[in-house]
Homo-oligomer: A and B are copies of this chain.
C-alpha cells in the first residue's frame, strides 16, 4: 500500500515538503454526503503551525482546494482529491543536510530505501507536513461519522511527564478542541506549555502522549483475525511521524491487572446491554462492543533540535557535528491531537463502510 491506506475508504497521500503541492485522494467515500468545507478548514487550522507561541513560524496557509469528488456541496461517491499548494518554502535551511544526516530522522534510512533519489528538501515526502492532507481526509471522515452520531475527540494525555486530568474513559468535551493546548485541565496545560518552553530555551525538545475517544461507534464492527479494530487503527497511527507506541483501553497497564477486575462485565441496563467498565477500550476480540473506543499513542520528542548533536558527514565519511537551524516545534504533541483524531476517523469510517 505504501502511501495509500484503507480497505474500502482509501486515502492516497502525495507531495513533498518543498515541492509544488501536497494532497490526498480519498477513494470510496459514501455518495451524497454534504461536506462543510469551512469546518474542514477549522479542523486543519488546529494542526497548522504557528498556533502555539513556540510552534514553527512557517507561514503555511494550508488552504485545501478540492479538485474532484464534490458536486453541489455533496460527495459524489467517486474519488475526492484535495490539494494544498506549497508557498512558504525556504530550502536553504536544509542545504547542510545533504551531507549530514539528522539524528532521529529518516535521512539515513531514506537514503538506503530510495537510493538517494528522495527529495531531500525539508524531508521530502516524509516531512510531517504530509500530515496536512491526512488531516483534511480525517476532517471529511469526521463529518461523515458525526452525521452518524459518532464523535472522535482527543486531548493531550501527557507531555514531558506532566499528565492531564484522567478522563472518565467515556467521552471528551467538544470544548477541548478549541484550546491552544487541548487538555481537560488548563492548569496542567500551563505546566505542559512551560515544559515545552523550557525545552525550547534549552534548544531541546520533549515528547508526549495523545489520547483519543470515539463515542457512539456501533457494536459488531471489525473483522477478526487481522482486520480487527485494533490492528486497523494501529496500522494507520504508526504511519504518523514520531509515533512509537499505540495502546487501547488500559493498554500496557493490563500487565499489572488481574482478570477478575480487568474484565468488563455486561449488565442489563435501561439502555440495553452495557458493560459496567470500559477497560477494553470499546473492543473485545477485535470487534467493537458499543462502548467508547479509547486509544493512546506516544510521540517521541521532536528529532530536529537546535542543540549541537553528533552525526556523520557523508562526504568525508568522518564523524561530525550538526546544529539545526530550521523552524521546528519543540513538541509535536499539541498539533498532533487533530492528526490522531483524523487518522482514527479514517480508520473507523473504513471499518464501517466495509461492514
Contact = CB atoms under 8 A, between A and B. Distances in A.
Interface of A: 1-5, 7-8, 10, 12-16, 19-23, 25, 27-28, 31-32, 65-69, 71, 74-81, 83, 101, 103-106, 108-110, 112-119, 124-126, 130, 158-161, 199, 204-209, 219-228, 230-232, 234-236, 238-239, 241, 243-260, 262-268, 273, 276, 280-281, 283-290, 298-305, 307, 309-312, 317-319, 330, 354-355
A103 B266 contact: yes
Given A12-B25, A114-B32, A245 B243 contact: no
Given A67-B83, A319-B267, A300 B254 contact: yes
A7 B223 CA distance: 13
B224 A126 contact: yes
B71 A262 contact: no
Contacts of A264: 103-104
A285 B105 contact: yes
A217 to B, nearest CB: 12
Given A109-B287, A248-B245, A258-B301, A76 B205 contact: no
B310 A267 contact: yes
B81 A16 contact: no
A259 B68 contact: no
